[in-house]
Amino acid sequence: MVDRLTDSGLPCVLRGHEMPDFLPGTEVLARGLRWEVVGSDSLGPQKLYRLRGLEGAIRGKEIDLLQPFEDIEPRIHALQPERAAPLMNWLVYHQAFLLEQAFGSDALTAVQPGRLRLEPYQLVPVLRALQTSRARLLLADGVGLGKTIQAGLVLTELIARRIAHRILTVAPAGPLLEQWQMEMTERFGLRQA
């Protein structure tokens, strides 16, 4: 039984010597700094974690740590009812948690066939984007094969999984820019900032 203190000084108890399994998005402490778990791979008795920095010079940078050789501890926040966040924030996180539990980690959460008619080849970029730690794709299909739909699927899936928070789309001015804005708004519910 291991005892630790939370941020507010309250005790936190972990039982045994088992390694916890951190889900993507979990805030952890490693090497004395705050990180967010991006993903994990099981390597026999060890677990390889990809972490993204949350503060200072490491903000946005990613590293791989092998547990149990490196200490990775969850950052536990004590409940503070007097400093409650707006209810909408809780609802969004709760809905994301429910979606993650309902579909599992391999299912596409943002694909809603009612809005579009999907072809199997249009799902390939989404699946490739989810396999990498940083999604960097170049979509270069022929005219009329659905590059806009492929890009929209990638964007909505990354946003739904809380992997991407801000996305920059570059398009030439004129009708093509207006078409992209309309497609992203109408088909995927994305709006520009």
> What is residue 20's predicted lDDT score, i.e. its pLDDT?
66
Whether 90 and 68 share a structural domain: no
> What is residue 3's predicted lDDT score, i.e. its pLDDT?
46
- The Cα-based distances of 6 to 63, 76, 122, 171 in angstroms read 25, 5, 46, 47
Residue 142 lies in a domain: yes
Q: What tokens were used for 71?
A: 């200490």
Q: pLDDT (tens digit, 9 = 90+) per residue, 142-157?
A: 777 788 888 888 888 8
Whether 52 and 108 share a structural domain: no
Binning pLDDT at 50, 70 and 90, where does residue 170 land?
Answer: confident
Whether 174 and 91 share a structural domain: yes
Whether 50 and 119 share a structural domain: no
Q: pLDDT (tens digit, 9 = 90+) per residue, 27-85?
A: 898 888 889 888 888 888 888 888 998 888 888 888 888 888 888 888 877 777 777 77
pLDDT (mean) for 88-97: 81
pTM: 0.45
Whether 115 and 183 share a structural domain: yes
Whether 136 and 47 share a structural domain: no
Binning pLDDT at 50, 70 and 90, where does residue 14 land?
Answer: very low
Secondary structure letter of residue 70 according to DSSP? S
pLDDT at 17 over 70: no
Contact (Cβ atoms closer than 8 angstroms) between residue 57 and residue 75: no
> What is residue 10's predicted lDDT score, i.e. its pLDDT?
46
Residue 158 lies in a domain: yes
Interstrand relation of 2-5 and 11-14 (parallel, antiparallel or unpaired): antiparallel
Range of the domain at 118: 85-188
Whether 145 and 105 share a structural domain: yes
Residue 79 lies in a domain: no
Residue 193 lies in a domain: no
Whether 101 and 164 share a structural domain: yes
Whether 36 and 118 share a structural domain: no
